[in-house]
Amino acid sequence: MQISTMRDSTLMTERERDWAPLTEEQFASYEQNGYIHLKGVFDQDEVARGLAVIDEVVAKGAPTIENHASFTDRSHTVRVRDAVSRTDGMDYFLDHPKMVGPLMSLLNGSVQILGTEIFVRSLQEEALEYWHTDGGEYLQRVQLAPGSPGLQVKAQVFFTDVTEPGSGNFLLIPGSHRKLPTSNNALCYMEELDEPLRRGVLPDDAVEVKAEPGDVLLFPYSLWHAVAPNTKRERKTFILRYGQLWHRPHDYHTQPREVLDRMAPRLRRMFGDFGDDAHPTDYYKPVDQGDVMAAGGTYAQR
C-alpha cells in the first residue's frame, strides 16, 4: 500500500494524544532565543522520584560507557552516561507527556533519544564548564534557517534548587544558536569567551538560568552555553539528548533487548526500535509515527 493512500501525513492519527504541543508563543520564543525554560514540569513527588533514581544509580557506582578522547576530566562532576541501561527509573520521565509534547514540536514529530545522562555537580569556585556548543565540530558548523525543524535538542531536568547565583547555574547567550563561533577546535570550546570566564567575566548578553526543582530547560546543539561556579550545594540533573530518528545515538549503538522489553511502544520508538521487521526506510518514513507517538504507557503504568 502506498503511503499516499494511507494518510496525508505519517503524523496523522485517530488516537487521542496524551501530550500537548508548545504554544505558538513558546515556539516563537525558542526560535528567537535558542532555548525555552519550562517551569514546574514535574511536581514535588516526581522530583523526589528523580532524586531517588540519581542517588541509587550513583550509590551503586554504576558503570558508564567506555571513555572517549573527547570526554573532559571533571573531578567535580559525576556523570553516568547511557543511564537508561542502568536503571528503569528514568523511563517514567522519558515517556512523560510533558516531556514528549515539547519535543514533538521542536523536532517536527521525529523524536529519538540519543543519550541519557545522570549529572551530579559538586562544589567548585571556578566555572564548572566553559563556553561551547554540543555535538562536535562537524555539527557546530551546521546552521539552520529560521523556521527549520530542529536537528538535535538537549533537555536539562533540574532536581535540585539552582535559583541562587553561584549554584552551578546554566549559562547561555540568547540568539547564539544562529551564530558561528570564531574559534574552531575539536571540543568546540570558545577561547574568546573562556578566557574572560576564568576571571569571572560574562558576556553582557549572557543569561544565568535560575531553575527550581522540576523545571526543564530545552536548547539546540548550536546554543553557546557554559556552567557557572557552584558554591551552594550539589546540583543534580538529568541531561537528555534528542534528535531526528535518522540520527546516530550519542551514548549507545542500540539498547539491549532487556532494556527495550521493559518499555512501552512509544518509548521504544524513541530509542529507535521499530521491532523485528524493521525496514531501513522506517527511520526516514515511519508510516505509523503518529499512532505510536500519540500516547505512552510507561507514564500511565507508574
Instruction: Give the CA count within 13 Å in the CB-facing half-sphere of 204.
Output: 0
Instruction: Kindly state the cell numbers that stand for 276.
Output: 523485528
In this structure, the dihedral spanned by the alpha carbons of residues 264, 266, 270 and 276, taken in order and rounded to 10 degrees, is: 70
The percent of residues above 70 in pLDDT, for the chain, comes to 96
Rounded Cα gap, residues 219 and 236, in angstroms? 18
pLDDT band at 1 (very low <50, low <70, confident <90, very high): very low
Domain boundaries, the chain: 3-301
pLDDT band at 4 (very low <50, low <70, confident <90, very high): very low
pLDDT of residue 3: 53
Tens-place pLDDT, residues 11-45: 989 999 999 999 999 999 999 999 999 999 999 99
pLDDT band at 9 (very low <50, low <70, confident <90, very high): confident
Tens-place pLDDT, residues 56-91: 999 998 777 777 787 776 778 889 999 999 999 999
Tens-place pLDDT, residues 157-209: 999 999 999 999 999 999 999 999 988 889 999 999 999 999 999 999 999 99
For residue 278, give every residue at least 6 positions away whose Cβ sits within 8 Å of its Cβ, in sequence order, or none: none
The CATH class for the domain spanning 3-301 reads: mainly beta
Instruction: Kindly state the cell numbers that stand for 24.
Output: 505558538
pTM score, whole prediction: 0.94
Tens-place pLDDT, residues 200-234: 999 999 999 999 999 999 999 999 999 999 999 99
pLDDT of residue 219: 98
Instruction: Kindly state the cell numbers that stand for 81.
Output: 552516561
Please report how the helices 97-106 and 24-33 are oriented relative to each other, as an axis angle in degrees rounded to 10. Answer: 60
Average pLDDT, integer, range 102-122: 96
* Residue 12: C-alpha distances to residues 7, 146, 156, 167 (Å): 7, 25, 29, 43
Q: What secondary structure, in 3-state letters, does 36-50 show?
A: EEECCCCCHHHHHHH
Rounded Cα gap, residues 270 and 199, in angstroms? 42
The percent of residues above 90 in pLDDT, for the chain, comes to 83
